[in-house]
Amino acid sequence: MKKHILCIGDSNTHGYNADPNDSADHGNRFNEEERWTCRLQNALGSDYLVIEEGLSGRTTVFPDPLHESMDALSVIYSLLKSHEPIDLLIIMLGTNDTKDRLGMNAACIALGMQRLVLKAKSTDCWGTHEPNILIVAPSPIGRQMKDEAMGITCAEKSEQLAEKFAEQAELTGCRFIDAADCPTNTADYMHLSRKGHAMLADRLAALVPSLL
């Protein structure tokens, strides 16, 4: 059986594209040659199965009062069991947790990540090996971002996530990388650009085989 790599994330895992001119298809979602998940699959080859589970707006554990089913905690059991056995779980969340309407600071968001990780580790989906989880801190939101729905404090909070997530990774026995160097676009300063997707895929392709 192939190595199953489950990627749980938000719009940056789904491949949302805020700048249609940045995609070969000029659409609002990067295509299968551009999304980091698909590029990771191509780089790793046929011995691996990279599974996309990205949802725009998804948080770690915090329900969104404006949209239903946005917290990963409520669905992570079913996602893990649907795709078992899981050889590696990659979690890249946190951006949407910074929304002002959710009222969470970076420390609380990190505790949300901890709770999500502990739920994943306790799920019987890992075959014959121990839970294997990689936390990816997303690129921080640019201070230039203007989105009233996100709020005025989200960029500042997002800049603190990498440090907090690294601490949680150490506490929970997870691997960790910081994707801060993967660029976002200049349309909303929040979603990965095509170059950002490529850079993240390259970093993960170099790392993932050593985790399995």
Would you place residue 136 in the very low, low, confident or very high pLDDT band (cuts 50, 70, 90)? very high
What confidence score (pLDDT) does residue 45 get? 97
Distance (Å, whole) CA 148 – CA 79: 32
Average pLDDT over residues 22-38: 96
The contacts of residue 42 (CB under 8 Å, 6+ apart) are none
In the three-class reduction of DSSP (H, G, I as helix; E, B as strand; rest coil), residue 188 is classed as coil
Angle subtended by helix axes 36-44 and 194-211, to nearest 10: 40
Tell me the two tokens of residue 6. 């489950």
Regarding beta strands 133-137 and 175-178, do their DSSP bridges make them parallel or antiparallel, or are they unpaired? parallel
Q: How confident is the model at residue 187 (pLDDT cuts 50, 70, 90)?
A: very high
Residue 197 falls in which region: left (phi positive, over 0), alpha (psi -120 to 50) or beta: alpha
Position 174 pLDDT exceeds 90: yes
Count of CB atoms situated within 10 Å of the CB of 183: 19
pLDDT-derived band of residue 182, with 50, 70 and 90 as boundaries? very high
* DSSP track, 96-139: GGG-GGGT--HHHHHHHHHHHHHHHHHSS-STTS---EEEEEPP
Nearest partner of 155 among 178, 135, 134, 138, judged by Cα: 138
If you average pLDDT over residues 144-164, what whole number do you get? 93
Task: Please name every residue paired with 175 in a beta bridge, in sequence order, or none if there are none.
Answer: 134
Statement: residue 147 has pLDDT above 90: no
Q: Calculate the average pLDDT of the chain.
A: 97
For 68, residues 6+ apart whose C-beta sits below 8 A from its C-beta are: none
Sign of the torsion angle spanned by Cα atoms 105, 150, 14, 163: negative
Domains of the chain by range and CATH? 3-211 (3.40.50.1110)
Q: Closest by alpha carbon to 40, among 90, 77, 79, 82?
A: 90
Residue-wise pLDDT tens digits, 103-130: 999 999 999 999 999 999 999 999 999 9
Model confidence at 146: pLDDT above 90 = no
Distance in angstroms (rounded) separating the CA atoms of residues 58 and 61: 9
Burial class (CB in 10 A: 0-12, 13-18, 19+), 18: middle
Q: Alpha-carbon Rg of the chain, whole angstroms?
A: 16
- pTM of the complete model beyond 0.95: yes
Per-residue pLDDT, 117: 98
pLDDT at position 195 is 98
42-99: per-residue pLDDT in tens? Answer: 999 999 999 999 999 999 999 999 999 999 999 999 999 999 999 999 999 999 999 9
Q: What is the mean pLDDT of residues 160-164?
A: 98
